[in-house]
Amino acid sequence: MIEATGGVDSRQVDVALAASAAETRGRSRWAEPVRRRRASAYAAGAALDDALDAARRLDAYAIASTVGYSAGPREAARSAADVHLAAFDRLAAAGLDSYVSVKLSELGFDSGLLAELDAAAAQSGRRLHLDALAPETVDATWRLLEAAPPAGALGMSFPGRWRRSADDAARAAELGIAVRVVKGQWAHGADGDVDPAEGFLRVVDRLAGHAGGVAVGTHDVKLLTESVRRLTAARTPCEVELLYGLPFRAPAVAARTLGIPVRLYVAYGDVGATYGIADLKRNPVAAWWLVQDLLLAKDKTWWSIRRSRANRR
């Protein structure tokens, strides 16, 4: 998944590892600036304005977007809901091809707040998408949706690594819900997990022919290509959805070759890096990823997009 521009410069990796070590120890005065710079590669910024600016910039590149807010650790559910409500209003006013992704845990699984967001989605003509959370939240999510079926367009994410996801995705398809397939961040545990890539394709196969649309949410080019091949063979409307800050060029080129549109998930708010310091010790390529974060920071995604467009020439 890591996009490199050639061979890894060992000196840059050494510098990156030294910086990460300082961050881990927390004793260096440089640790906090390093942490902030590393995290800045994965978020448009702290505020909705930052996410909207990124969405407009993507629109200029003819790339659709999703905006996903991450609330702070002590932020009230009402406050988080208000940010999402404002996002619906402003995306509609700007006429952007963008929808709103929500983490129900940040709303306290409050049915009233979910109803407000559903109404805003319907009024704005934009999708309300429910991000995948920990496995124990799935049944609570279904209970909310059963109690109050959505009035507007709805989407849900399902991780391939959970054994139950194929059945959950099929259930969503029966209800006309758009589905985003991801590998998954959290393990289900015990007998609930399968190989993430194998499970991903299992979910894709269950969604064959789903008229509600499928987003292939992976930067793994081989998995992306096979997923799109299976979906298009079944005449399933689909797109590739990539994450802001993760390598863009290779999966975007693959999607373009397959004739499939690309959407970028733009995170904003209290967002950290998508990998931990421990990953640097296990995977030398992750060290190169850190080098890019530290060298490019907020410009990382745009640099990757420019490289993708250069391939067209």
Q: If you search the block for the tokens 């259930």, which residue do you land on?
A: 171
- The set of residues, in sequence order, having a beta carbon less than 8 Å from that of 29 and lying 6+ positions away, is none
- Residue partners of 116: CB distance under 8 A and separation at least 6: 81, 85
pLDDT in tens, 115-170: 999 999 999 999 999 999 999 999 999 999 999 889 999 999 999 999 999 999 99
d(CA 21, CA 38): 13
Structure tokens belonging to residue 177: 């819900």
**What is the C-alpha to C-alpha distance for residues 289 and 16, in angstroms, rounded to an integer?**
9
| Residue range 43-271, CATH number | 3.20.20.220
Q: What is the pLDDT of residues 2-51, one digit of tens each?
A: 333 333 344 443 444 445 455 444 445 666 777 777 778 889 999 999 99
Could you count the other beta carbons within 10 Å of the beta carbon of residue 307?
17
CA 85, 153, 217, 201 torsion-angle sign: positive
Burial of residue 295 (number of CB atoms within 10 Å: 0-12, 13-18, 19+): middle
Q: Which residues contact 263 (CB under 8 A, 6 or more apart)?
A: 63, 64, 65, 66, 215, 239, 240, 241, 242
Q: Which two tokens stand for residue 258?
A: 């397959």
- Paired sense of beta strands 262-269 and 154-159, if any: unpaired
Burial profile 17-27: b = 16 or more Cβ within 10 angstroms, e = fewer:
bebbebbeeee
Task: Give per-residue pLDDT as tens, 195-223.
Answer: 999 999 999 999 999 999 999 999 999 99
What type of residue is 180?
R
Q: What is the mean pLDDT of the chain?
A: 86
- For 197, the enclosing helix (H) or strand (E) is helix 196-206
pLDDT of residue 214: 98
* Domain locations along the chain: 43-271
Which of the pair, 50 or 300, is modelled with greater confidence?
50
